[in-house]
């Protein structure tokens, strides 16, 4: 009976998030996704470019190593993004810094899609225990929002090219921030990603050797499958389905599929921590399980916590407390481990 109530609560919460999500048409915009690409006229041409990006080890590398433009004041850090978009506010990256008084460890947090607030409780909890927390704004969120928008429709949408550009921008912004933190003296860098933010954190961890620990909440491998099957992205599927099949969308968004980087995530100097919701209707458990198997096949041994809640009800007690304690143990652990617990 309790789980039925929990499912209904998640559904009510999902409905509140549907404001402003409208059905639109498929847009390719390959020149946004792939720098230097010429205009493409078909999904097949787009998929060929995506295949090349998956095979390109430099696709998520920073275009420069300049630290110019970083400004730090009153607990905030801002700097220019290395990707210029047609939304001026989106081209400046903002991050909230909660200091710990130590340079031993910094955690960079990547929030979920359409986040309305940063994670002050997590930041305060960890900072009091010696970890500096840096909460970055992903593209088209918070201070970077598109004027007049009611949700971050430019970050994840039926515009295939803009979606790749936005997530690639989030990865490059995160890597630039991590490089600055290392230059500022932080010895250990961890990343935490939530839902869509877990794709960003995972891509960064797969590519950036400066990251020693990655915690992924409510995650899976294939972003295409998540969008196609998830409760929060019905309007995107409704926009795409008349014009593109799921098999093509998987190829088109191949550069964003964490399964394609499982070998990188299994590198010996990276610890992985994953929190999953067994009743998730946004990131379906079957997709998460497929990703876990892909990681296992690659040799990764993540610490996995499975909780008997939904995507949104993870934020409720006791689930958020269990997830928080698991995160704390992971961040303060000494090295690689393999543990799977749940459901709780």
pLDDT at 9 over 80: no
SS3 322: helix
Compute the residue count for the chain. 344
**What is the average pLDDT across 174-192?**
97
Task: Kindly state the percentage of the chain with pLDDT values over 90.
Answer: 83
Identify the DSSP state of 99. -
Identify the DSSP state of 27. B
Rounded to two decimals, the pTM is 0.95
pLDDT at 342 over 60: no
**What is the average pLDDT across 61-85?**
90
pLDDT number for residue 81: 97
Query: How far apart are the C-alpha atoms of 235 and 289, rounded to whole Å?
Result: 25
Round to the nearest angstrom and report the end-to-end CA distance of the chain.
Answer: 16
At residue 5 the predicted structure's pLDDT band, cuts being 50, 70 and 90, is low
pLDDT number for residue 303: 97
- State the residue range of the domain holding 206: 2-341
**Residues near 51 by beta carbon (within 8 Å), at least 6 away in sequence:** 251, 254
pLDDT number for residue 2: 64
- 219-246 confidence digits (pLDDT tens): 999 999 999 999 999 999 999 999 999 9
Q: Which candidate, 269, 292, 283, places its Cα nearest to that of 342?
A: 292
pLDDT number for residue 343: 58
**What is the average pLDDT across 308-326?**
95
SS3 content of the chain, % helix, strand, coil (to 5): 45, 15, 40
Least confident of 4-13, 96-105, 269-278, 303-312: 4-13
At residue 36 the predicted structure's pLDDT band, cuts being 50, 70 and 90, is confident
The residue that leads in pLDDT, 231 or 21, is 231
pLDDT at 142 over 60: yes
Q: Which CATH number goes with the domain that contains 164?
A: 3.40.50.1820
Total number of domains constituting the chain: 1
pLDDT number for residue 336: 57
- 239-284 confidence digits (pLDDT tens): 999 999 999 999 999 999 999 999 999 999 999 999 999 999 999 9
Cis peptide before 343 (omega within 30 of 0): yes
pLDDT at 166 over 90: yes
Q: What is the overall mean pLDDT for the chain?
A: 93
**What is the average pLDDT across 158-181?**
97
At residue 100 the predicted structure's pLDDT band, cuts being 50, 70 and 90, is very high
pLDDT at 288 over 60: yes
**What is the average pLDDT across 22-39?**
88
pLDDT at 117 over 70: yes
Write out the H or E segment, with its range, that includes residue 79. Answer: strand 76-80
The residue that leads in pLDDT, 152 or 23, is 152
Q: Which candidate, 200, 205, 176, 202, places its Cα nearest to that of 63?
A: 176
């Amino acid at each position: 009976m309790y789980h039925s109530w929990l499912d209904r609560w998640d559904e009510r919460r999902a409905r509140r998030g549907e404001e402003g999500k409208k059905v639109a048409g498929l847009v390719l915009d390959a020149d946004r996704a792939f720098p230097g690409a010429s205009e493409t006229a078909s999904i097949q041409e787009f998929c060929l470019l995506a295949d090349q990006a998956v095979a390109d080890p430099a696709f998520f590398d920073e275009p420069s190593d300049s630290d110019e433009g970083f400004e730090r004041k009153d607990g905030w850090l801002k700097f220019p993004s290395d990707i210029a978009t047609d939304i001026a506010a989106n081209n400046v990256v903002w991050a909230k810094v909660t200091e710990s008084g130590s340079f031993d460890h910094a955690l960079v947090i990547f929030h979920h899609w359409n986040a309305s607030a940063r994670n002050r409780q997590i930041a305060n909890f960890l900072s009091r225990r010696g970890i500096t927390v840096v909460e970055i704004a992903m593209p088209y969120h918070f201070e970077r929002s598109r004027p007049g928008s009611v949700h971050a429709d430019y970050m994840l949408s039926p515009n295939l090219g803009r979606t790749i550009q936005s997530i690639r921008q989030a990865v490059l912004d995160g890597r630039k921030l991590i490089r600055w933190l290392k230059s500022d003296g932080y010895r250990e860098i961890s990343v935490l990603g939530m839902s869509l933010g877990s794709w960003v954190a995972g891509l960064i961890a797969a590519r950036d050797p400066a990251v020693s620990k990655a915690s992924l909440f409510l995650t899976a491998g294939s972003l295409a499958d998540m969008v196609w099957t998830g409760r929060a992205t019905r309007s995107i599927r409704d926009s795409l389905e008349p014009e593109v099949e799921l098999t093509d969308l998987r190829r088109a968004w191949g550069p964003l599929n964490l399964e394609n980087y499982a070998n990188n995530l299994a590198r010996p100097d990276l610890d992985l921590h994953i929190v999953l919701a067994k009743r998730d209707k946004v990131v379906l458990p079957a997709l998460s399980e497929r990703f876990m198997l892909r990681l296992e096949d690659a040799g990764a041994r993540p610490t996995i916590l499975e909780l008997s809640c939904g995507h949104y009800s993870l934020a409720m007690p006791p689930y958020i407390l269990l997830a928080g304690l698991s995160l704390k143990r992971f961040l303060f652990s000494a090295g690689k481990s393999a543990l799977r617990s749940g459901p709780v």
